Amino acid sequence: MFDFDALSNAIVRQTVLCVGDLMLDEFVYGEISRISPEAPAPVIAVRRSEINVGGAGNVARNIAALGAHCIFVGLVGADDAGEKLRAALSGENLIEPLLVSDPARPTTRKVRFVSEHFSTHMLRADWEATVPASGLVEQALIDTILPLLPRADIVLLSDYAKGVLTARVIRNVIDAARKLGKRVIVDPKSANFAIYRGATLLTPNQKEFAEATRSRADDEANLATAARDVMLLADSEALLVTQSERGMTLVPREGDVIHVPAYPVKVRDVTGAGDTVAAMLAVALAAGADWETALRTASAAAAVAVSKSGTAIVTLAELRHRILPHASLAAEEKIARSADDLDERVSKWREQGLRIGFTNGCFDILHPGHVKVLTGARAACDRLIVGLNSDNSVKRLKGEERPIQDERARAGVLAALEAVDLVVIFEEDTPLKLIEQIQPSVLVKGGDYTLKQVVGHEIVTARGGEVVLIDVLQGFSTTSLVKRAGGTG
């Protein structure tokens, strides 16, 4: 897994250059209770309306909401919608907008009429020109973009096929970025992926991918074969296919295919979810994340976005809550009630494709040494289960005067830690039986153990899992703390 806090701290130091089709998104919400007497059409009684920055502008807003700096280049017309977009983007602290004006075309504007009672889009009205930008406007875009490249940590092209990302603009930007060693992510619209030649990563959805490759891509093997053919044509390092509720699959030019399942979530509105995914990928990769980490954070960000209404943005705080949901639970909810309860939770996490980690101990008096091991353990997995010796088990291991705190108190303290997703009390002297039940992918202990001393290492490694040893913090132990306090140890 990964250290969410370390990634977050790295993200806020990144600058993303985002180029693409800007649009004004308007949502008109109301109730429908009758049919118009003038025509067989529903009448919506408008209650409220919202105006948002959409298209590539929503990508920029998501980049900024995640804490990174975004330099944004887009195209607007000389009209009221264009002025609204200029004003909205200028008011965003972390967005630096450089908008090229084309008086010959309208600013792209989309108005959606939504029934609040049924949570259904009833109608969408579009004002737009989808023809490519003229030669003069193309040159103005290129002249604006290229001097910005040295300031960017990564480049993101958000193509909505509204005329900004012409073949000439794309070619100039990708070639210049590659010369400077900058990675380029493309959220493509054209079915001819060859025009994005040289991009680091292409992120089509399943429909776009099927059209571009003329393949069904109905399973991982077929998808991987078609993706690698496309990558040869597009000279890209990887291709990511987003598949809505089926999750997302990344095919790298070299290495194994990575599939990340979608988070289970009640979908309210999918508008702009692809923008959120592109933004999250850009900031995570710019911050140094590997492919799997970038995908997992993007999947979590998409889950947050689709649970909101309208053109939504996702913040780091919301992302943290989605990735570390058990941190928000009451401590008692993070203590397994029975073996069946443990099996049910583990089964659900496995269905979600989550990597389960395990560590164990007495944790009689929680100290900084414990916290370091637990934090390190959580960074190595998606969900961390902590096996806790029962009171009787501790007495057998440590003597009649121990534990200082009973098992429920110790479990409650552990469960209150953000790093811990589940606490399981076990009666045996070792957690071997518990490890056999859980079958974790990662087994973690302090570095004062050797691999062969770690109980259950054979079980985990036999299934392709790994054993992680965390360097211990010297000078801390429960026994020494008890002696210092005048106890018996």
CA distance 362 to 369: 13
CA distance 448 to 368: 15
CA distance 252 to 434: 37
Per residue, the 3-state secondary structure of 18-48, as one string, reads: EEECEEEEEEEEEEEEEECCCCCCEEEEEEE
Residue 408: partners with Cβ closer than 8 Å, 6 or more residues away:
none
Beta bridge partners of 101: 76
φ, ψ at 351 (rounded to 5°): -60, -30
Q: Which residue's entry shows tokens 């989605």?
A: 322
Q: Indicate the helix (H) or strand (E) that contains 228.
A: helix 220-234
CB 432 within 8 A of CB 458: no
Using DSSP's 3-state secondary structure scheme, residue 445 falls into strand
From the list 187, 269, 275, 382, the catalytic residue is 275
Neighbours of 480 (CB within 10 A): 12
φ, ψ at 238 (rounded to 5°): -160, 160
Residue 486: partners with Cβ closer than 8 Å, 6 or more residues away:
none
Separation in Å, CA 102 to CA 127, 134, 137, 165, 266: 15, 9, 7, 14, 41
Q: Indicate the helix (H) or strand (E) that contains 120.
A: strand 120-127
CA distance 356 to 346: 8
CA distance 194 to 197: 5
The 8-class DSSP code of residue 312 comes to -
**The two three-digit tokens of residue 184, written as one number:** 């380029």
CA distance 192 to 332: 54
CB 196 within 8 A of CB 236: yes
CB 323 within 8 A of CB 297: yes
The 8-class DSSP code of residue 150 comes to G
Using DSSP's 3-state secondary structure scheme, residue 356 falls into strand
429 catalytic per annotation: no
CA distance 18 to 74: 9
Q: Please report, as a single letter, which amino acid is at residue 445.
A: K
CB 301 within 8 A of CB 315: no
Active site residues: 275
